[in-house]
Amino acid sequence: MAGPVTEVAHRVNYSETDQMGVVYHARYLVWLDVARCEHLRTTGLSYRELEAVGYRLAVSEANLRYRQPARYDDPLRIRCWVRDAVARRVTFGYAVEHLEGRLLATATVALLCLDTGFRLSRLPADLLGRLDPTSDPVRL
């Protein structure tokens, strides 16, 4: 249970804000997606390559807890790690943090492996072997 944690940086842009003056809640899912793809890339098999060989990872569940608002121009760090990977399903954990350290949000996202016909499929063995789970580095 000591798999890697991937970090990506993001600066909040204007399109992500809403008239409350904070980041609109749906935008976080995009950041999580970006962090997840970078995590896959670091395992040696990018999501683009995974699609090229006939697999899809489809989100089956997403759970987000918003703790403090993110604001325009805030420099953020999104951390991503594998919580669990079994035959047909992988679950990721996430922490969204202000660069100064405040925890803004946490999340988990579960994805199912599909083939190009959208049928449930086993994760390719070489990918599954690289998805080392780790204990949550923050409380979700």
Residues known to be catalytic = 18
Question: For a copy of itself, which is the closer residue by CB, 22 or 85?
Answer: 22
Question: For a copy of itself, which is the closer residue by CB, 63 or 135?
Answer: 63
Question: For a copy of itself, which is the closer residue by CB, 1 or 37?
Answer: 37
- Rg from Cα positions in the chain: 15
Minimal distance in Å, beta carbon 101 to a copy of itself? 19
Spatial neighbors of 10 by CB under 8 A, at least 6 apart, are 31, 34, 75, 76, 77, 78
Question: For a copy of itself, which is the closer residue by CB, 30 or 99?
Answer: 30
**Chain residues in the site for a copy of itself (CB under 8 A):** 13-15, 17-22, 24-27, 29-30, 33-34, 37, 46-48, 56, 58-66, 69, 72-73, 118
Spatial neighbors of 75 by CB under 8 A, at least 6 apart, are 9, 10, 11, 98, 99
H-only helix segments in the chain: 27-43, 47-52, 125-128
**Token pair of 121, please?**
């499929």
Minimal distance in Å, beta carbon 134 to a copy of itself? 23
Minimal distance in Å, beta carbon 95 to a copy of itself? 15
Minimal distance in Å, beta carbon 61 to a copy of itself? 5
**Cross-strand partners of 108:** 63, 93
